[in-house]
């Protein structure tokens, strides 16, 4: 069973930006920063978080730059669907789909979004408490 949490949605009608040179995730997509890739599609990339909060902690991002979840949802709902589908694929590939996992989108500083490029956290491999931290 999977749960999706959308935290602190902001913004509306923002357009995608193909790449932002100072964005860490854009640099990962371009190959300028190494990452441990889990899955990749033509429009998405999944890689291991460098500071994992669970035994499985994978980030799923669009290859194009959207600053947050609201911007992506307003600009390209089909890409948002692809991100969610890839999160489920990550869970299957990592062997946590049967025991359960969490998919989290943090939006904005108060929600803990550290990189201003929309990303989903796929967390699992241990019991996850509620409410989240």
pLDDT digits (tens, 9 = 90+) for 81-95: 999 999 999 999 999
Confidence of residue 13 (pLDDT cuts 50, 70, 90): very low
Looking at domain 2-124, its CATH class is alpha beta
pTM for the complete prediction? 0.86
Q: What is the mean pLDDT of residues 110-121?
A: 95
Q: Within 13 Å of residue 52, how many CA atoms lie on the same side as its CB?
A: 13
Domain residue spans in the chain? 2-124
Among residues 57, 65, 117, 119, which one is catalytic?
A: 119
pLDDT at 7 over 60: no
Please say if 65 is a catalytic residue: no
Sheet holding 120-124, edge to edge: 2-7, 101-106, 120-124, 56-62, 44-48, 37-40
pLDDT at 108 over 80: yes
């Amino acid at each position: 069973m999977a749960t999706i949490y959308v935290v602190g949605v902001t913004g509306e009608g923002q357009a995608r930006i193909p790449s932002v040179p100072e964005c860490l995730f854009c640099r990962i997509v371009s190959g300028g920063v190494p990452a441990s890739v889990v899955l990749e599609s033509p429009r998405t990339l999944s890689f291991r978080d460098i500071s994992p909060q669970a035994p499985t902690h994978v980030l799923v991002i669009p290859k194009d730059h959207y600053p947050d979840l609201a911007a992506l949802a307003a600009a390209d709902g089909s890409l948002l669907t692809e991100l969610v589908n890839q999160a489920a694929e990550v869970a299957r590939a990592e062997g946590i789909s049967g025991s359960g996992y969490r998919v989290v989108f943090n939006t904005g500083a108060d929600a803990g979004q550290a990189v201003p490029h929309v990303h989903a956290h796929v967390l699992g491999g241990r019991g996850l408490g509620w409410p989240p931290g």
